[in-house]
Amino acid sequence: MLGNLIGLAALVLAATAGIMSFGFARGFVRRRLRFVDTVRSPGVPVLVAVVAGLLVLPLTLLPLVSGITAAAVGLGAGLGTRSGVKALQRGDVVLR
């Protein structure tokens, strides 16, 4: 019973971390990197995903953080970067 509960908590943590990394990356690209031409390169989202996943990887020493969490953060950051670039190409810019 307790093992299932810990597994569920780890899964919820991984999903939340992935969603939050997506939102952070998308907002960062739309606000801060809108004038940087390099971010529009097709390889940048892959690079961001790998770096974000590697940055979270040492946290897998904690009890609830697993490799799935690191992968979710990497995937969320990469997809958020790509989504932010698409928003910039559409002209959907945040001016705050």
What does the block give as tokens for 34? 């809108």
- What integer pLDDT is reported at residue 13 of this predicted model? 96
**How many other CB atoms sit within 10 Å of the CB of residue 80?**
27
- What integer pLDDT is reported at residue 25 of this predicted model? 97
- What integer pLDDT is reported at residue 94 of this predicted model? 67
Could you write out the DSSP letters of every residue in 66-94?
A: -HHHHHHHHHHHHHHHHHHHHHHHHT---
- What integer pLDDT is reported at residue 3 of this predicted model? 78
What is the model's pTM?
0.90
- Per-residue pLDDT of the chain (96 residues), as tens digits, is 777 999 999 999 999 999 999 999 999 999 999 999 999 999 999 999 999 999 999 999 998 999 999 999 999 999 999 999 999 999 887 676
- What integer pLDDT is reported at residue 96 of this predicted model? 66
